[in-house]
Amino acid sequence: MFAGALCAARSDIARRDSGQSRTAVSRASCIVEREASLTSHTLLGDAPVPRFTLFVNSETHDIDVPAGTSLLGVLRDDLSLTGTRFGCGHSGCGACYVLVGDAATPSCTIPVEDVVGKEITTIEALAREGELHPVQRAFVDEDAMQCGYCTTGMIISSIALLARTPSPSEDEIRAALAPHLCRCGVYGRVIRAVQRAARLMSNDAAQDTVRLVVR
């Protein structure tokens, strides 16, 4: 609440201020305050809290947090999986997306009790044996990031899209990435990265088929 009030106050100041840099500083401050507020559930004292068992990145974790704690808070504060970002806190920016099953999902507004028994995948689990996931590789190859704050969420939604639509049209890519805001404006490069990833993944699938036939 306190962080939210501060952010609202700063937004008012930013609106009255015509300088671009003042606005940018204001937004950056809000993000820092909101990130700090995520830790508040660890400051509630010694009262017993419920235990939830989560399945994250192929591992089981027992987490003691109050019901209603966001999945994002658990990922970042309890499991130290900080690759998933906090942006707006109300499903409006796409920074916090993770895979819940096969679905790209905003983790800032889903309470921990709603994901018990579900498979959760974060950006940290995508690379295997030192090899980037093809979508990560394509983002690097297309230079589809600037500050990188939106990138993990964009990659998660791209993976979910390619799992259900292996060769998406540009319109389908735009629709899948519509929930994601990028302050740096790298949207064009992100679209090219998803198209590149689709080609990479279809080549990998073709090579796997050849290997199976040759065996």
Residues engaged in binding ligand FES (CB under 6 A): 86-89, 91-96, 106, 108, 145-151, 182-184, 186
Nearest distance from C-beta of residue 96 to ligand FES, angstroms: 3
Take residue 16 and report the two structure tokens written for it.
């009255």
* Cβ contact 154:186 at 8 Å: no
With respect to ligand FES, which residue has the nearer C-beta, 63 or 145?
Answer: 145
Q: How many residues does the chain have?
A: 215
**Strand order across the 103-106 sheet:** 59-64, 51-56, 119-121, 97-100, 103-106
Nearest distance from C-beta of residue 167 to ligand FES, angstroms: 25
Nearest distance from C-beta of residue 215 to ligand FES, angstroms: 43
With respect to ligand FES, which residue has the nearer C-beta, 106 or 134?
Answer: 106
With respect to ligand FES, which residue has the nearer C-beta, 56 or 182?
Answer: 182
With respect to ligand FES, which residue has the nearer C-beta, 60 or 80?
Answer: 80
With respect to ligand FES, which residue has the nearer C-beta, 49 or 183?
Answer: 183
Nearest distance from C-beta of residue 4 to ligand FES, angstroms: 13
CA distances in angstroms from 59 to 79, 96, 117, 166, 188, listed in the order given: 11, 20, 12, 28, 36
With respect to ligand FES, which residue has the nearer C-beta, 88 or 125?
Answer: 88
Burial, 128: exposed, middle or buried (Cβ in 10 Å; 0-12, 13-18, 19+)? exposed
DSSP 75: I
Nearest distance from C-beta of residue 144 to ligand FES, angstroms: 8
Nearest distance from C-beta of residue 213 to ligand FES, angstroms: 41
Q: Which of 89, 56, 91 is nearest to 73 (CA)?
A: 89
CA distances in angstroms from 177 to 63, 113, 114, 133, 144, listed in the order given: 31, 27, 24, 18, 13
